[in-house]
Amino acid sequence: MSLQREVWPSRFAFISAALGSAIGLGNVWRFSYLAGKYGGSAFLFPYLIALLLLCVPVMILEFALGHRFKTTVIQAFQNISDRLKGVGLLGNLSSFIILPYYAVIVGWCLLYLYHSLNTPWVGQESDFFYSTILNLSPGAFFDFSLNIPLIIAVAICWIVFYLCISRGIAGVSKVVSITVPLPIIILFILLVRGVTLPHGMDGITYFFKPRFDLIWDFNVWRAAFSQIVFTASLGFGTMVAFASYLPKKSDIVKNSLITVFLNSAVSIIAGAVVFSTLGYMAFKQGVPIDTLAKSGPGLAFIVFPKALSLIPYPHILSFLFFLCLLTLAVDSAFALLETLCAALVDRFPRYSRSSLLIFSTVVCAVISLIYTTGSGLYFLDVVDHFVSDYLLVGTVLLQCIAFGWIANTEEWRRYINSISDIRIGSIWTFSLRFICPLALIILLSFSLYSDFSTPYEDYPQSLLWVGQGVCLLAFIVSFYYSFFSSKRNTQ
């Protein structure tokens, strides 16, 4: 039985599921390390611009597509024009590529949660992360040795993701009623702890005090725009799939605004938690906060646990933090899995939903093994870099062009306004036609320029090929699907 025929029991259930998908590791792990890397508050301004310029109009677009066509992203774009089905496929391919490594990061969180009651990392945080958790081979970019504890943790995660969505909309609604509020409550507890620490407010100042010295640095803009796409789950087809289960009378604009702004509010609260705690750590260790904040992707798994270990009751705080990460990540991961499964249900109606769900879970779980090996972190890093900077940004660009230039955008605007309390003006059409494509084209060109001039993280070309190859393959397959695959009956 397909989820297609089901309907969310309430607006609250839909918003919770959309928020559950949007609020994930991206809000805490990715947002805080990017904000740290790009100077704290210097990152906030481009981030907020990207939120208004790109996130709001595209979220309305995705919700409207799902709501009107009551189908998943490939079919939705195909309904606009047969040639556009590849744009929908790109979204599904992004989910398929990201889910396996996302699941492995959830596995890291589970291992940290397991260890948090005795915090064995204290005094050797970096070693604990790279050696104990990841079993990373330093410098060996193609080491496929297996890491059994991590494999067990990731396998548990896959079973949980499967169970969360195996009972369809009803099950998802129940799970998100816990996994959405719980991490937010924990973040508030950690925020109170952070700002009441000595010099915690120094961190808050670092994060919020406006500074525009990096405004001309394109890397900051590039990071802010790709972060918005990733964190709001844009371009993946997830929001289209979720909106397809909305009842006929649903306020598209209000739902989009609530999802977009609450998602970013959680990122900002998470940033305040991380930076206030780092403010205290900087004071304790007598180092500038900038040095701590710039520690890159290891921020949530190395520097932050170290900061927590300097505060009274580190076990409780660590437990809360990793429980927060885990619960944030679980509903994002199963949203990705649901997106894939719904697409398969759409494409292969003769197979049952449960067998397609098992199939997609097993295939993604097997792929995720690559990211648990001795070189797993390197693969994860290059794939994440190329997928978020090219595949996702490219997908959203194509969505905007398809919607702004091929669909009858004005007619869509009338449709959205006919069911929404808050009306959207012609600025929405203008954004999708001009502002978003222009911003995304500039961004993509800059990314290409900077990746051609300096190899990402100075990795060897053989490793970079993994990320570049995956992206290129996704674009080629989608192009082929759009232009050379036979026409299927549309709904």
By C-alpha distance, which of 96, 170, 106 is closest to 361? Answer: 96
CA distance linking residue 414 with residue 358, whole number of Å: 40
From 4-12, 331-339, 346-354, 448-456, give the range in contact with ligand PHE by CB under 6 A. Answer: 331-339
CA distance 279 to 188: 17
Indicate whether 227 belongs to the interface with ligand PHE (CB under 6 A). Answer: no
Residue 72 is a binding residue for ligand PHE (CB under 6 A): no
**Sole residue written with tokens 């904000």:** 35
Cβ atoms of 94 and 387 closer than 8 Å: yes
Identity of the residue numbered 313: Y
User: Of 183 and 200, which CB lies nearer to ligand PHE in the complex structure?
Assistant: 183
Is 27 a residue that touches ligand PHE (CB under 6 A)?
yes
Q: Shortest approach of ligand PHE to residue 345 CB, angstroms?
A: 17
Among 16, 18, 24, 35, binds ligand PHE (CB under 6 A): 24
What is the separation of C-alpha 366 from the centre of its chain, rounded to a whole number of angstroms?
21
We find the least distance from the C-beta atom of residue 238 to ligand PHE, in angstroms, to be: 4
Burial category of 229 from C-beta neighbours within 10 Å (exposed 0-12, middle 13-18, buried 19 and up): buried
Under rule CB under 6 A, residue 231 binds ligand PHE: yes
Place of tokens 């099950």: 171
Interacting residue with ligand PHE among 335, 337, 344, 424 (CB under 6 A): 335
For ligand PHE, give the closer residue by CB, 110 or 282.
110
Rounded Cα distance, 335 and 332, in Å? 5
For residue 339, the minimal CB distance to ligand PHE (Å) is 7
**What is the C-alpha to C-alpha distance for residues 319 and 314, in angstroms, rounded to an integer?**
8
Token digits for 185?
């409550």
The answer to whether 55 touches 362, Cβ cutoff 8 Å, is no
CB of 169 to ligand PHE, least distance (A): 17
Stretch that binds ligand PHE, among 25-33, 63-71, 319-327, 376-384 (CB under 6 A): 25-33
Identity of the residue numbered 282: A
286 by DSSP, 3-state: which? coil
**CB within 8 Å of 135: residues ≥ 6 apart:** 145, 147, 150, 374
Between the alpha carbon of residue 424 and those of residues 11, 336, 420, 466, the distances in Å are 20, 29, 9, 42
Give the nearer residue to ligand PHE in terms of CB position, either 295 or 332.
332
Shortest CB 241 distance to ligand PHE, Å: 10
Cα angle 316, 322, 324 (rounded to 5 degrees) comes to 100
Contact between 71 and ligand PHE by CB under 6 A: the answer reads no
Cβ of residue 452: shortest distance to ligand PHE, in angstroms?
Answer: 27
Rank residues 361 and 409 by Cβ distance to ligand PHE and give the closer one. Answer: 361
Q: Is 74:92 a contact under the CB 8 Å cutoff?
A: yes
What is the nearest approach in angstroms of ligand PHE to the Cβ of residue 27? 5
Residue 236 CB, shortest distance to ligand PHE, in Å, is: 4
Residues in the chain: 491
CB of 217 to ligand PHE, least distance (A): 23
Is the Cβ–Cβ distance between 254 and 60 less than 8 Å?
no
DSSP sequence for 263-327:
HHHHHHHHHHHHHHHHHHHHHHHT--HHHHHT-GGGIIIIIHHHHHHTSSSHHHHHHHHHHHHHH
With CB under 6 A, what is the number of residues at the site for ligand PHE? 14
User: Which CB sits closer to ligand PHE, 300 or 335?
Assistant: 335
CB of 240 to ligand PHE, least distance (A): 11
Q: Which of 17, 22, 260, 282 binds ligand PHE (CB under 6 A)?
A: 22
* Per-residue contact string for residues 172-211; x = within reach of ligand PHE by CB under 6 A: ----------------------------------------
Q: Which of 53, 228, 336, 387 binds ligand PHE (CB under 6 A)?
A: 336
Q: The tokens of 56 are what? A: 């709001």
| Residues between 232 and 261 with contacts to ligand PHE, criterion CB under 6 A | 233, 236, 238
**Would you say 43 or 236 has its CB closer to ligand PHE?**
236
Crossing angle, helix 168-179 and helix 181-195, to 10 degrees? 10
Give the range of 179-187, 226-234, 290-298, 346-354 binding ligand PHE by CB under 6 A: 226-234
* Helix (H), strand (E) counts: the chain: 25, 0
Query: Closest approach of Cβ 478 to ligand PHE, in Å?
Result: 17
Of residues 53 and 55, the one with the C-beta less far from ligand PHE = 55
Q: Which of 75, 332, 360, 373 binds ligand PHE (CB under 6 A)?
A: 332
Q: Which residues form the interface with ligand PHE (CB under 6 A)?
A: 21-22, 24-27, 230-231, 233, 236, 238, 332, 335-336
